Amino acid sequence: MEGINPLKKKSLALESAIKKAFAEAKIENFKFFRSYIQPDNLENRINNAGSNKENKFPFVIIRPIKSVQKSKSGVTSKIATFLIRLGTENKDYENGFFEIAGIAEYLVAYFTKHSSAIERKDGFSYSIDLETIEAYLNEEMTGGDFWIYDILLQLNIPTVPHTAYIEENKREVSNEKEEKWQD
């Protein structure tokens, strides 16, 4: 079901938007991951936890963590919550915290200003619910020189009829048809 996947399309759209925001602010060297960071050798990483420093910092992880579908008076809407996880490395505690918090707040401001984008105009497409944006230090994952900050965004995503998923498995769907489903 590669062609009809609203969650993947929105993940890609958010990644494009974040890259654009970072370019405008001259924030550089971030590595982007969709879903999870995959260790090169999981067994080696577990055996050498703490001593094996895989340098994946600074990074941005983008993934959908929840979707909710509601139907009222025959109209169905779907909202997906996306996690944007930022990670940096900074030995100075005060500077480390304010560096990661500043980047996160910049992204929140960017998404507030650009809460919806049209694919044909901006190259990516999304619609963010501004009343539900959350940004916070992930204290459970922050430690030592490593700072993790999470942003939660709720995006309106299209509802796709189940027959579209079935048809997609049987034959390729043109980009034109897919765009109609995304509108």
Count CB-CB contacts under 10 A for residue 137: 15
Please give the average per-residue pLDDT across 24-34, as a whole number.
94
For residues 155 and 80, the answer to whether their CB atoms sit within 8 Å is yes
- Straight-line distance from the first to the last Cα atom of the chain, in angstroms, rounded to the nearest whole number: 19
Percentage, residues of the chain above pLDDT 70: 69
18 within some domain: yes
Are the C-beta atoms of residues 168 and 1 closer than 8 Å to each other? yes
- What pTM, to 2 d.p., does this model score? 0.76
Q: How confident is the model at residue 119 (pLDDT cuts 50, 70, 90)?
A: low
CB atoms within 10 A of CB 55: 8
In a domain, 9, yes or no: yes
Does residue 45 carry a pLDDT above 60? Answer: no
Q: Is residue 171 part of a domain?
A: no
Q: Is the pLDDT of residue 107 over 70?
A: yes
Q: Which two tokens stand for residue 87?
A: 């990670």
If phi > 0 it is left, if psi is from -120 to 50 it is alpha, else beta; for residue 50 that is left
- Inside any domain, residue 43: no
Q: Are 33 and 62 in contact (CB under 8 A)?
A: yes
Instruction: Output the CA torsion 82→24→115→177 (10° steps).
Output: -80
Which tens digit of pLDDT belongs to each residue from 67-76? 999 888 888 8
Tokens describing residue 67: 């979707």
d(CA 46, CA 50): 9
Q: Is residue 97 in a domain?
A: yes
Q: Which residue has the higher pLDDT, 98 or 162?
A: 98
Cis? peptide before 58, omega within 30° of 0: yes
Structure tokens at 5: 């996947």
DSSP structural state of residue 38:
P
Q: What is the pLDDT of residue 72?
A: 87
Q: Are 162 and 183 in contact (CB under 8 A)?
A: no
Helix and strand numbers, DSSP H then E, in the chain? 6, 7
State phi, psi for 68 to the nearest 5 degrees. -125, 130
Look-up of token digits 């489903």: 181
How do residues 54-94 score in pLDDT, each as one tens digit?
A: 578 999 999 999 999 988 888 888 899 999 999 999 999 99
If one counts the domains in the chain, the total is: 1
Domain that residue 76 falls in = 1-36+54-149
Higher-scoring residue by pLDDT: 87, 120? 87
Asked if residue 172 belongs to a domain, the reply is no
For residue 30, give the CATH number of its domain.
Answer: 3.30.70
**Does 122 reside within a domain?**
yes
